[in-house]
């Protein structure tokens, strides 16, 4: 049995598909899927790509499957500063800059802060976070627990998000460890509206915000696929006025 066979079976089970289900999605026979999982058949490069698409496997994991069969990686993992990433950097910077006076950030698969707009730099800077910091670390910091008024509810939803993201990527130890840590802090709160806000307390300042998450469509780069843009919006009028006041803009 090859490493590829193990990876294929693992991903099929992660996606909760039978061999027949996968065969139908990949347009091959269930018998061929069985042979691939037992090592009786050797996949072509094109077959690995097709199975990766059928199983919605992350691009970095598809490269791993290709390497297991001796093929070169298909999907690049460019560094943030490469010339090819310039349009992406501009798009992220424009999105975050235009989102001011509300905080906006870009994070990678391990919740490392890749970009922060000035409102986010000021707000998260109060928690000791800068570009390059991991938001997973701050989840374990009692300083955060004291500054978030509804910490049990936020911990609960953060735990669920971590588990979801880890499952989608086939299991990420760092995300799983953070989710496990939050279990002792998590508590589902009452139904208070369509979205659970995070309520920060900075001295006498109270900021209640909810977030939205965006990703790039049709990525062919592993780094880009793992990048998320998170934009925070005021959950009440007082927060909207406070954010506008802090950054010198009038409400639109």
Q: What is the mean pLDDT of residues 214-227?
A: 92
CATH number for the domain running over 83-246: 3.30.450
Query: What per-residue confidence (pLDDT) applies to 202?
Result: 86
Q: Give 24-33 pLDDT, tens digit per residue.
A: 999 999 999 9
Q: Residue 119's closest CA among 240, 251, 252, 246?
A: 246
Task: Give Cβ neighbours of residue 99 (< 8 Å, ≥ 6 apart).
Answer: 117, 231
Does residue 252 register a pLDDT over 50? no
Does residue 193 register a pLDDT over 80? no
CA distances from 84 to 80, 110, 112 (A): 9, 23, 21
Return the sign of the alpha-carbon dihedral for residues 169, 175, 181, 184: negative
Does residue 1 register a pLDDT over 80? no
Element (H, E) at 88: helix 86-99
Residues forming beta bridges with residue 211, ordered by sequence position = 232
Q: What is the mean pLDDT of residues 239-247?
A: 91
Q: Give 182-191 pLDDT, tens digit per residue.
A: 999 998 877 6
The domains of the chain are located at 3-68, 83-246
CATH topology of domain 3-68: 434 Repressor (Amino-terminal Domain) (1.10.260)
Q: Give 30-54 pLDDT, tens digit per residue.
A: 999 999 999 999 999 999 999 999 9
Helices (H), 117-236: 118-125, 135-138, 142-147, 151-168, 173-182, 222-225
């Amino acid at each position: 049995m090859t490493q590829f066979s193990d990876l294929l079976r693992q991903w099929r089970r992660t996606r909760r598909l039978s061999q027949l289900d996968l065969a139908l999605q990949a347009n091959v026979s269930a018998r061929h899927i069985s042979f691939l999982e037992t090592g009786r058949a050797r996949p072509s490069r094109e077959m690995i790509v097709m199975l990766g698409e059928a199983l919605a496997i992350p691009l970095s994991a598809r490269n791993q499957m290709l390497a297991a069969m001796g093929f070169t990686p298909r999907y690049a993992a460019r560094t943030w500063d490469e010339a090819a990433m310039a349009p992406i950097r501009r798009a992220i910077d424009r999105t975050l800059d235009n989102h001011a006076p509300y905080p906006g950030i870009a994070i990678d698969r391990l919740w490392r802060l890749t970009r922060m707009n000035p409102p986010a730099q000021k707000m998260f800077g109060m928690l000791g976070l800068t570009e390059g910091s991991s938001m997973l670390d701050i989840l374990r910091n009692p300083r955060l627990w004291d500054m978030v008024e509804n910490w049990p509810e936020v911990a609960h939803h953060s735990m669920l998000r971590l588990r979801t993201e880890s499952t989608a990527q086939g299991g990420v130890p760092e995300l799983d460890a953070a989710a496990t840590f939050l279990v002792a802090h998590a508590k589902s709160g009452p139904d208070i509206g369509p979205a659970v806000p995070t309520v920060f307390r900075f001295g006498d300042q109270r900021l209640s915000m909810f977030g939205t998450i965006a990703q790039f469509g049709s990525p062919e780069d592993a780094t880009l696929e793992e990048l998320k843009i998170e934009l925070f919006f005021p959950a009440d009028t007082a927060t909207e006025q406070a954010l506008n006041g802090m950054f010198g803009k009038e409400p639109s």
